[in-house]
Amino acid sequence: MTLTHLQRLEAEAIHIMRETAAEFERPVMLYSAGKDSSVLLHLARLAFAPARPPFPLLHVDTMWKFRAMYELRDRAAAEAGMELIVHRNPEAEERGINPLDHGSALHTQMWKTDGLKQALDRHGFDAAIGGARRDEERVRAKERVFSFRSAGHRWDPKRQRPELWRLYNGRKAKGESFRIFPLSNWTELDVWQYVLAKGVEVSELYFAAPRPTLERDGTLLMVDDERLKPGPGEEVRERWVRFRTLGCYPLSGAIESRAATVPELIEEMRTGRQSERQGRLIDRDGTASMERKKREGYF
């Protein structure tokens, strides 16, 4: 019997999660309500069933996620019976940092990068499981499954450990930590095929529907609440759109589409020929910006 590619990827991810649970004192799973998070949560439940996964979920909130994502987050955590920790950077909250007034770079730095570090430090988490994949960005192609972070959460390419076979080295000194990426070898297409094969619930925002949108700097933004106001010359119009990636709604570009089911979406991906990062506004801050963010501790 030959295993399918999805079976092998699933088994590998489960293996990685079990190693994480066994080797770390206080692991946590990052959960953002995106499709990778949904798959990750599904796999975590498979890995430890019938018991609950032996770690909590952590959402590093930015106050600007789509409303539908918050709903899915709370529902999914409750259904899994897992503790959900929501962290918001108090400094960003106090100073009212937002993507509209302060730009994507500062918003992301303070809410996501700093917020994640704060949350990990506050709870003493020594391993954070995340849904990053090596196909997302060229820089990610060399990322380890067990990605070492020195004290202060810095990623130093020179200190990454060789990973042979299925052996992961999670040993560390006090203050050091790891980011764990069970979906390292998955591609975007693998994720969708898995969602289809296993009936994993993902956010409705991935599927096309008529939504209120406005066009800004050549990008379609969904007007998810009253905080996003049309500027001069901009008008809110209902368009059939969906999202390829989800983040803060003013930073997530929508694509016009009629793909309302997973098979339609996979078909559109085959012919669409744009990478998923294309809609992510935070990646346009300059070439190799992802690598710089990583060095600073971005997930």
Partner 1 sequence: MEKTLLRLITCGSVDDGKSTLLGRLLFETGSAFDDELALCGADLSRLVDGLEAEREQGITIDVAYRFFATETRKFIVADAPGHEQYTRNLVTGASTAELALVLVDAARGILTQTRRHSYLCRLLGVSSFVLLVNKMDSVGFDQAVFDRIVADYAALGESFTAIPVSALTGDNVAARSPAMAWYEGPTLLEHLESVAPGEGSNGGPFEMPVQWVGRQDKRGFAGMVVQGSVRPGDRVRVMPAGTRATVSRIALGEDELEAAVPGQSVMLSFAEEVDCSRGDVIASAAYPPEVADQFEAVIVWMAEEELVAGRQYGLKLAAQSALATIHTPKYEIDVDTLEQVPAHGLQLNGIGVANLWTDRPLVFEAYEDNRDLGGFILIDRVTNETVGAGLIRHALRRSQNLHAQALEVTPEARAAMKGQKPRLLWFTGLSGAGKSTVANLVEKKLHLAGRHTFLLDGDNVRLGLNRDLGFSDADRAENIRRVGETARLMLDAGLIVLAAFISPFRAERRMVREMLGEGEFVEVFVDVPLAVAEERDPKGLYAKARDGRIPNFTGIGSPYEAPEAPEIRIDTDAMSPEDAAESVVRYILQEPSPR
Give the binding site for partner 1 (CB under 8 A). Answer: 1-12, 14-15, 18-19, 21-22, 45-51, 134-135, 138-139, 141-142, 157, 159-167, 169, 171-173, 184-185, 187, 189-190, 193, 270, 273-275, 278, 288, 291-292
Taking alpha carbons only, the member of 181, 166, 194, 208 closest to residue 299 is 181
Q: Which helix (H) or strand (E) holds 220?
A: strand 219-222
Shortest gap between Cβ of 54 and partner 1 (angstroms)?
9
Shortest gap between Cβ of 177 and partner 1 (angstroms)?
12
Say whether 211 sits in a helix, a strand or coil: strand
Shortest gap between Cβ of 50 and partner 1 (angstroms)?
5
Shortest gap between Cβ of 245 and partner 1 (angstroms)?
13
Q: Which is nearer to partner 1, 204 or 296 (CB)?
A: 296
CA separation for the pair 295, 276 (Å, rounded): 22
Say whether 288 sits in a helix, a strand or coil: coil
CA separation for the pair 10, 299 (Å, rounded): 22
Shortest gap between Cβ of 124 and partner 1 (angstroms)?
18
Contact indicator for 244, 279 with CB cutoff of 8 Å: yes
CA separation for the pair 210, 213 (Å, rounded): 9
Sign of CA dihedral 241, 247, 253, 259: negative
Q: Which is nearer to partner 1, 134 or 242 (CB)?
A: 134
Contact indicator for 77, 129 with CB cutoff of 8 Å: no
CA separation for the pair 246, 95 (Å, rounded): 24
Q: Which is nearer to partner 1, 118 or 187 (CB)?
A: 187
Q: Which is nearer to partner 1, 90 or 175 (CB)?
A: 175
Q: Which is nearer to partner 1, 123 or 140 (CB)?
A: 140
Q: Which is nearer to partner 1, 67 or 295 (CB)?
A: 295
Shortest gap between Cβ of 117 and partner 1 (angstroms)?
21
